[in-house]
């Protein structure tokens, strides 16, 4: 307990699924938390849960692929809970299509939400982290960044970009006592996964040696490790809690 006592964290996509689990775990470990999500009603519920734990919290609405909305939400967060010391870039979408039939709009939206947003949100917190000589940035990628998947070329490409961005940024900011790392989970039992076609989900789980999706509570402790002092020597790393779908 108290591994994040006195810290301020911001979690994008924090209203549901993995983002919610991370936000609540961070709060239980002592952090004040800003919950940023497009679904402001659900984000407010998570913020209320965090306050019930005894920590400060704020909910902010933002489309994380929109630079103006990101700026506004992050300013709101800083005003409510203070300078962000831990950023979890978790917000994301998924969809399926073979490349030959993929609309350009589907490709562009995937890159906008799953990759561009990582840049926008990171850029929003870096000046203060550099000034304060401290930061933890945790980017949520996917095991599909390593292996790809049928009907998921757009998703896999975006998530592979997250890992490359993570490594490159880690070189830039290490001298400022800022660590940047990624987590590449396997399939998780979340609303996002359940919305994919049933046949795709069934085939995916056949590939996973454990033959089941992970739970968000199995992944959130990895984020806690990277956010805490215990994870201070991880830099540019990608941790892979994926049920054995990719063994690296």
- Residues involved in catalysis: 155
Residues whose CB falls within 8 Å of the CB of residue 91, separated by 6 or more in sequence, listed in order: 12, 13, 19, 36, 37, 38, 64, 113, 117
Per DSSP, the three-state class of 88 is: strand
| Distance (Å) of CA 197 to CA 84, 200, 207 | 37, 5, 16
User: In which element (H, E) is residue 238 found?
Assistant: strand 238-239
- Sheet holding 178-183: strands in order across? 57-61, 32-37, 8-12, 86-89, 135-140, 178-183, 238-239
Token pair, residue 225, equals 């490790």
Distance CA 125, CA 137 (A): 9
Distance CA 178, CA 192 (A): 30
Distance CA 132, CA 111 (A): 31
């Amino acid at each position: 307990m108290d591994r994040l006592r006195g810290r301020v964290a911001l979690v994008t996509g924090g209203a549901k699924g993995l983002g919610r689990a991370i936000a609540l775990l961070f709060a239980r470990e002592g952090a004040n938390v800003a919950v940023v999500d497009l679904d402001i009603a659900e984000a407010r519920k998570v913020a209320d849960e965090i306050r019930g734990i005894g920590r400060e919290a704020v909910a902010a609405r933002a489309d994380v692929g929109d630079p103006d909305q990101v700026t506004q939400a992050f300013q709101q967060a800083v005003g409510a809970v203070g300078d962000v010391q831990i950023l979890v870039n978790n917000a994301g979408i998924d969809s399926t299509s073979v490349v030959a039939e993929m609309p350009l709009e589907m490709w562009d939206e995937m890159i906008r939400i799953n990759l561009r947003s990582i840049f926008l949100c990171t850029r929003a917190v870096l000046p203060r982290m550099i000034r304060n000589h401290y930061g933890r940035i945790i980017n949520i990628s996917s095991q599909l960044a390593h292996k790809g998947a049928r009907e998921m070329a757009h998703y896999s490409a975006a998530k592979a970009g997250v890992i490359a961005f993570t490594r490159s940024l880690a070189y830039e900011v290490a001298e400022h006592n800022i660590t940047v790392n990624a987590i590449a989970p396997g399939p998780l039992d979340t609303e996002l996964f359940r919305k994919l076609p049933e046949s795709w989900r069934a085939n995916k789980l056949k590939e996973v040696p454990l033959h089941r999706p992970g739970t968000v509570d199995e992944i959130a402790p990895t984020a806690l490790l990277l956010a805490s002092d215990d994870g201070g020597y991880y830099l540019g790393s990608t941790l892979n809690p994926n049920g054995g779908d990719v063994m690296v």
